[in-house]
């Protein structure tokens, strides 16, 4: 409709119509990105306070709702400085690489039916490829800062992220095997129907893949208990110790939005995405179908976000050897076994489906 308005009513050429549409979509993505970051930061503070028997921020705004806004304004006006004898080019590029990887993966999330910013027939492949760009930004930030603590943090972060990307990718492959498509919208559409979420269709291997994905996703987002790259007691602030102002803000935003992205991908691939809860009872299913898809998607995603926050504020930080042992000795072999089990289930028709 908007496209026809630009072309027919306004008389714009194909180039200008597409350019205006891309700019507007980009602005909408950035607006959603910033809004969700504010919500997630506030939610993290309140959830953390609840687990620690506190009340969290309460001074700025009612119930502390404007505290994050005040922090953002403070960060915007802080001075941006450069470190002596640092690699200034890499130092400046690193935050942008991290935020580009975060926004890129964020753009793949299907908010509702037809609400896909990026939807390719090899969407899962592109999603994992774009997310890996963030590793480069983290390593560049630590290396370019000319700070031994930042370098150690960057090395820890790089080896951790590269390791856990293997389990993430294998879990997504198990979903591709079950649905027969790498297109994200196709994966969601394969889960529309009574009890058709992948954790139900694929039963045991899909449930195991979902659990492994959540653990590995927590590590990919540098969240506790996998936040060794930002271990405050050892490395001050980690690889972004020498950053200030919005340079630090980009890392901060990316961390929280990566949490949302991981939860959104888990929701999309294993929990039906925007598909409503259908149980095969006509009256119940008709009521559930009236709820908009974006409400279902956000509701499921924030449930997963809460579970990951629960994990962060429950378990102590792991050592680097424990983190790598968990991945290479346990999660990686388990992920390979999940793929074998999923292939067996699909090949012999052992998946759970309801016809009609």
Residue-wise pLDDT tens digits, 303-341 = 999 999 999 888 888 888 888 999 999 999 999 999 999
H runs (alpha helix) in the chain = 2-4, 14-51, 67-77, 88-106, 123-131, 133-144, 148-179, 184-189, 198-201, 203-220, 232-235, 245-270, 282-290, 293-312, 320-325, 332-347
- Cβ neighbours for 302, distance < 8 A, ≥ 6 positions apart: 43, 263
Q: Residues of the chain whose pLDDT is less than 50?
A: 356
Any idea which residue has 């935003």 for tokens? 253
pTM, 2 dp: 0.91
Which tens digit of pLDDT belongs to each residue from 22-69?
A: 788 888 888 888 889 889 999 999 999 988 888 888 888 888 888 988
- Cβ neighbours for 189, distance < 8 A, ≥ 6 positions apart: none
pLDDT of residue 332: 93
Q: How many Å apart are CA 215 and CA 219, to the nearest integer?
A: 7
Gyration radius (Cα) of the chain, Å: 22
Neighbours of 62 (CB within 10 A): 7
Kindly state the DSSP code that residue 229 receives in the 8-state scheme: G
Q: How many Å apart are CA 95 and CA 150, to the nearest integer?
A: 14
pLDDT of residue 356: 43
pLDDT of residue 355: 55
Return the closest-CA partner of residue 94 out of 136, 62, 152, 32: 136
């Amino acid at each position: 409709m908007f496209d026809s308005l630009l072309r027919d009513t306004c008389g714009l050429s194909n180039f200008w119509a597409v350019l205006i549409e891309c700019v507007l979509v980009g602005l909408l993505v950035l607006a959603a990105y910033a809004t969700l970051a504010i919500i997630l930061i506030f939610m993290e503070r309140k959830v953390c306070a609840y687990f620690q028997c506190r009340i969290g921020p309460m001074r700025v705004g009612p119930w502390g709702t404007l505290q994050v806004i005040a922090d953002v304004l403070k960060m915007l006006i802080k001075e941006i400085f450069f470190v002596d004898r640092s690699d200034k080019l890499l130092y400046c590029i690193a935050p942008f690489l991290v935020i580009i990887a975060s926004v890129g993966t964020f753009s793949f999330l299907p908010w509702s039916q037809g609400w896909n910013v990026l939807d390719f027939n090899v969407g899962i492949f592109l999603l994992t490829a774009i997310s890996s760009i963030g590793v480069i930004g983290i390593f560049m930030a630590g290396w370019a800062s000319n700070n031994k603590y930042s370098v150690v943090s960057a090395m820890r972060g790089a080896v951790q992220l590269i390791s856990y990307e293997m389990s993430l990718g294998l879990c997504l492959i198990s979903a591709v095997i079950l649905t027969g498509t790498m297109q994200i919208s196709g994966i969601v559409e394969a889960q529309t129907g009574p009890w058709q979420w992948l954790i139900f269709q694929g039963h045991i291997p899909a449930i195991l893949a979902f659990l492994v994905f959540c653990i590995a996703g927590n590590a990919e987002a540098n969240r506790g208990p996998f936040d060794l790259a930002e271990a405050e007691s050892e490395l001050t602030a980690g690889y972004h110790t020498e950053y200030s102002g919005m340079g630090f803000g980009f890392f901060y935003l990316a961390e929280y939005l990566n949490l949302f992205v991981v939860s959104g991908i888990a929701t999309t691939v294993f929990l039906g995405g925007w598909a409503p809860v259908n149980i095969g009872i006509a009256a119940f299913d008709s009521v559930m179908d009236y709820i908009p898809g974006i409400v279902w998607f956000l509701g499921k995603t924030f449930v997963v976000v809460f579970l990951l926050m629960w994990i962060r504020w429950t378990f102590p930080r792991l050592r680097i050897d424990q983190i790598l042992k968990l991945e290479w000795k346990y999660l990686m072999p388990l992920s390979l076994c999940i793929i074998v089990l999923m292939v067996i289930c699909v090949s012999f028709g052992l998946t759970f489906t309801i016809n009609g």
